[in-house]
């Protein structure tokens, strides 16, 4: 689904945010992209979805170069950035209809599609309420609905549960699981909530300072580093592996 080839972003001041990154995301994955603050995660997503042109390297989605096939790629993907705005005077239904029109959903299907995605994210009963009256969790739901309104095969989500309470986090997780399992959507997600990633993702990548340090199926990754754990009565967690790989000063810590 996604392949990057030596993907690099270097800014004019010489800072390299992403350094020769080679990722492989398979069709049907829920792929967790992890790293400390400043690791280059958001920059990477912006290059993957075509918003930022890389200094070097290439992004290929379903066999097509993102740079050379920008218009076609945009029809295939959906993006929910960490910081995104809403038109607070619009109702949820109006907001989704607006984006259905922008994405070129056929006119005779727009209303039906709005109703479908509202149901998918559990917002049918809130469809006619202005977004300005939504809670953060409701905004995230309507944001995901906007992201999938044009039926993309791949979506990018940057911290989709940030600031939500545990119930809100669980609700979003269930929506993503449903999109993936029932509708076949491949999901690329960043999150600092490692427990959340371990619950919904089948593959993960860990980056630090723009460099890829691990990429594997979650189960294989945990097995690989399982011997690091001194207390063998409990299995190693993704959080423990993450800190081992990204915290050089704690390489000798007892897991």
Element of type H or E holding 250 = none
Distances (CA, A) of 127 to 98, 168, 173: 13, 18, 21
Q: Is the pLDDT of residue 108 over 70?
A: yes
- For the segment 241-251, what is each residue's pLDDT rounded down to a tens digit? 999 998 854 45
Q: Is the pLDDT of residue 64 over 50?
A: yes
The tokens 């945990």 sit on which residue? 222
* Proportion of the chain above pLDDT 90, given as a percent: 71
Q: What is the pLDDT of residue 255?
A: 47
Q: What is the pLDDT of residue 254?
A: 47
Report all structural domains of the chain as residue ranges with CATH numbers, in order of start: 2-250 (3.40.50.300)
Q: What is the pLDDT of residue 216?
A: 95
Alpha-carbon distance of 169 to 72, in angstroms, equals 32
Q: What is the pLDDT of residue 235?
A: 86
Question: What is the DSSP secondary-structure string of 119-143?
Answer: HHTT-GGGTTSBGGG--HHHHHHHH
Q: What is the pLDDT of residue 239?
A: 92
Q: What is the pLDDT of residue 223?
A: 92
174-200: average pLDDT: 91
149-166: average pLDDT: 90
Q: Is the pLDDT of residue 228 over 90?
A: no
Q: Which two tokens stand for residue 134?
A: 């939504």
Contact 131, 91 (CB under 8 A): yes
Q: Which of 84-93, 167-176, 204-213 has the highest mean pLDDT?
A: 204-213
User: In the structure, what pLDDT confidence band is assigned to residue 7 with cuts at 50, 70 and 90?
Assistant: very high
Among 34, 56, 38, CA closest to 47 = 56
Q: How far is CA 2 from the centre of its chain?
A: 13
Q: What is the pLDDT of residue 8?
A: 96
Q: What is the pLDDT of residue 249?
A: 43
Q: What is the pLDDT of residue 191?
A: 87
Contact 48, 2 (CB under 8 A): yes
Q: What is the pLDDT of residue 231?
A: 67
Contact 27, 186 (CB under 8 A): yes
195-222: average pLDDT: 94
156-184: average pLDDT: 89
In the beta sheet, which residues pair with residue 21?
7
46-63: average pLDDT: 93
141-170: average pLDDT: 90
Q: What is the pLDDT of residue 70?
A: 87
Among 47, 34, 81, 12, CA closest to 203 = 34
Q: What average pLDDT does the chain have?
A: 90
Q: Is the pLDDT of residue 38 over 70?
A: yes
Alpha-carbon distance of 22 to 242, in angstroms, equals 19
Locate all alpha helices (DSSP H) within the chain, ordered by sequence.
Answer: 41-48, 70-76, 92-102, 110-120, 136-148, 166-183, 194-200, 218-225, 238-246
User: In the structure, what pLDDT confidence band is assigned to residue 88 with cuts at 50, 70 and 90?
Assistant: very high
Among 245, 246, 225, CA closest to 235 = 225
Alpha-carbon distance of 238 to 222, in angstroms, equals 7
């Amino acid at each position: 689904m996604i392949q990057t080839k030596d993907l690099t972003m270097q800014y004019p001041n010489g800072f390299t945010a992403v350094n020769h990154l080679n990722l492989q995301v398979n069709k049907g994955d829920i792929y967790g992209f992890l790293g400390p603050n400043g690791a280059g995660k958001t920059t990477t997503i912006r290059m993957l979805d075509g918003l930022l042109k890389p200094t070097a390297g290439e992004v290929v989605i379903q066999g097509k170069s993102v740079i050379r096939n920008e218009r076609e790629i945009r029809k295939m993907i959906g993006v929910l950035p960490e910081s995104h705005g809403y038109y607070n005077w619009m109702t949820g239904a109006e907001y989704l209809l607006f984006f259905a029109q922008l994405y070129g959903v056929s006119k005779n299907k727009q209303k039906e599609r709005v109703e479908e995605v509202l149901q998918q994210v559990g917002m049918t009963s809130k469809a006619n309420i202005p977004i300005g009256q939504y809670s953060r969790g409701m905004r995230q739901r309507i944001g995901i609905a906007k992201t999938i309104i044009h039926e993309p095969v791949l979506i990018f989500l940057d911290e989709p549960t940030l600031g939500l309470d545990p119930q809100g986090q669980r609700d979003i997780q269930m929506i993503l699981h449903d999109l993936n399992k029932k509708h076949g959507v491949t999901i690329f997600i960043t999150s600092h909530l490692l427990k959340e990633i371990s619950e919904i993702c089948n593959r993960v990548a860990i980056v630090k300072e723009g460099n890829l340090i691990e990429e594997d199926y979650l189960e294989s990754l945990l097995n690989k580093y399982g011997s690091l754990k001194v207390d063998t009565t409990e299995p190693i967690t993704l959080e423990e592996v993450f800190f081992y790989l990204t915290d050089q000063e704690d390489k000798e810590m007892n897991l």
